[in-house]
Amino acid sequence: MNKAIKEETIEGFCVKYKKHIFSKSIKVSLKKDDLVVVTMPKYCPYKEARDFLLSNIEKIKSFEFKDKTYPQNFQTKFDSIKIQAGSDFNTIVKNKTVYFSYPNHLDFSDKAVQKKFKEAYLKALTIEAKNYLPQRIKFLSEKFGFKYNKLALRNQRTRFGSCSFCNNINLNINLMKYDFDIIDYVIIHELVHTKIKNHSKVFWDEVEKFCPDYKNLRKLLKTMY
């Protein structure tokens, strides 16, 4: 078990405790019907975070997690998924396009349809991320004079990007859900980390140099996902 992350089950919830260097207080969030994430400052004792959770457990149990429902006319950024009613569930990937069909006796908003669609949507996001993100980071790195080692694309729940000490960069395929200027902000953020391995004022000044509106884009990134 990672020393910075602990897990347990409380009142039917899977509870994950995460320490974050930038957290100033203990926060509890319901990520799924049965998943609770407790974020805390780096030096906060786990017991203190757990006590805080337990003191609010009844409130958390009253929360209703509402998963996003996609409309039948939903389109991805590059229109890489096609939806149609058919005789059964079927997902086919052809020529970098995902074709998704569902039983015509079901409404597209039906939970079973939505669950299958999200699997197909993930395939479309992966296709678009592979087509767009590598060439975009290459363009921005050359434009602003940065050098990185390797690029990896991942499907992650909480991190949109990261940069290792060896300047290997990871980008989240879910970035393809966002506007292009937000994607650019995340890429620039990680490129700046190839030179500055912290989040000091010097780091943010450097980010602002290449992305003047980064503060607003950063807020949008936190509220939209």
In a domain, 196, yes or no: yes
What is the structure's pLDDT at 144? 97
pTM of the complete model beyond 0.85: no
What is the structure's pLDDT at 85? 94
Work out the burial of residue 157: count CB atoms within 10 Å of its CB; fewer than 13 is exposed, 13-18 middle, 19 or more buried: exposed
What is the structure's pLDDT at 5? 62
The reply to whether 219 and 137 lie within a common domain is yes
CA–CA dist 32, 30 (Å, integer): 6
Number of domains in the chain: 3
The reply to whether 134 and 218 lie within a common domain is yes
In a domain, 181, yes or no: yes
What is the structure's pLDDT at 24? 86
Q: How many CA atoms lie within 13 A of 23 on its CB side?
A: 16
Place of tokens 């049965």: 34
What is the structure's pLDDT at 164? 94
In a domain, 40, yes or no: yes
pLDDT digits (tens, 9 = 90+) for 162-198: 999 999 999 999 999 999 999 999 999 999 999 999 9
The reply to whether 183 and 208 lie within a common domain is yes
In a domain, 175, yes or no: yes
In a domain, 76, yes or no: no
In a domain, 70, yes or no: no
Domain range spanning residue 37?
5-62
- Residue 8: C-alpha distances to residues 26, 27, 31, 57 (Å): 17, 17, 15, 14
Task: Kindly give the pairing relationship between strand 90-94 and strand 97-103.
Answer: antiparallel
What is the structure's pLDDT at 1? 34
The reply to whether 39 and 9 lie within a common domain is yes
The reply to whether 146 and 214 lie within a common domain is yes
The reply to whether 190 and 213 lie within a common domain is yes
The reply to whether 142 and 188 lie within a common domain is yes
The reply to whether 111 and 184 lie within a common domain is no
In a domain, 34, yes or no: yes
CA–CA dist 159, 147 (Å, integer): 21
Per-residue pLDDT of the chain (225 residues; tens, 9 = 90+): 344 568 888 887 889 998 888 788 999 888 776 788 899 998 999 999 999 999 988 888 777 666 788 999 999 999 999 999 999 999 999 999 999 999 999 999 998 999 999 999 999 999 999 999 999 999 999 999 999 999 999 998 768 999 999 999 999 999 999 999 999 999 999 999 999 999 999 999 999 999 999 999 998 887 654
The reply to whether 23 and 55 lie within a common domain is yes
